[in-house]
Amino acid sequence: MTVPAGATMLLIASHADEVEDAALLGQRCARMVECVEAELRKQSAAQRAELARLRMSEAAAPRAEVTQRRERLEQSLAHPLRVHPREGRALAVSSKTLQGVDELRALLLDTAFDKEAFPRFGECRLHKSSRRILSSGPNRVPERRSYVCRR
């Protein structure tokens, strides 16, 4: 899986309606988070070990691909992938009963408008083709509005 450095994962337990015992469902969701966090710790340790090897290799004989990989590892370690802080449990949802769907929608909206995670979300930006048309001269008028405004 490829994700940007610093991304937050929201763990979703689907088919929640198939587990009748709410306590058992909560335990399974908490266990899922524990397993994912343990795997993230293992990956982080492996990245630190690789980074140490790359630094030694780079010091002996600098190469562009080694430098590039080192920089990516440093970025990943500086901004690690993390699990969404939901009291240490996954979000249980059901498409059959719609259990948890409203909470999922709210979490997705909160995440989308998180200025720390997505600092440019909601800005008006000209699409590349619009910039090209506008910069080609004053006599050229686009037939349709070709800019994208996300609000």
The predicted-structure confidence for 33-92, as pLDDT tens digits, reads as follows: 899 999 999 999 999 999 999 998 888 887 888 889 999 999 989 988 888 777 667 889
- Greater model confidence, 40 or 151: 40
Only one residue has tokens 């795997």, namely 39
Q: Which two tokens stand for residue 88?
A: 């240490």
What b/e sequence results for 62-96 when a residue is b if at least 16 CB atoms lie within 10 Å of its CB, and e otherwise?
eeeebeebbeebeebeeeebebeeeeebbbbbbee
Mean pLDDT of 9-33: 89
At 109, the pLDDT band (50, 70, 90 cuts) reads confident
Q: Which two tokens stand for residue 80?
A: 């690690």
Other CB atoms within a 10 A radius of the CB of residue 45 amount to 10
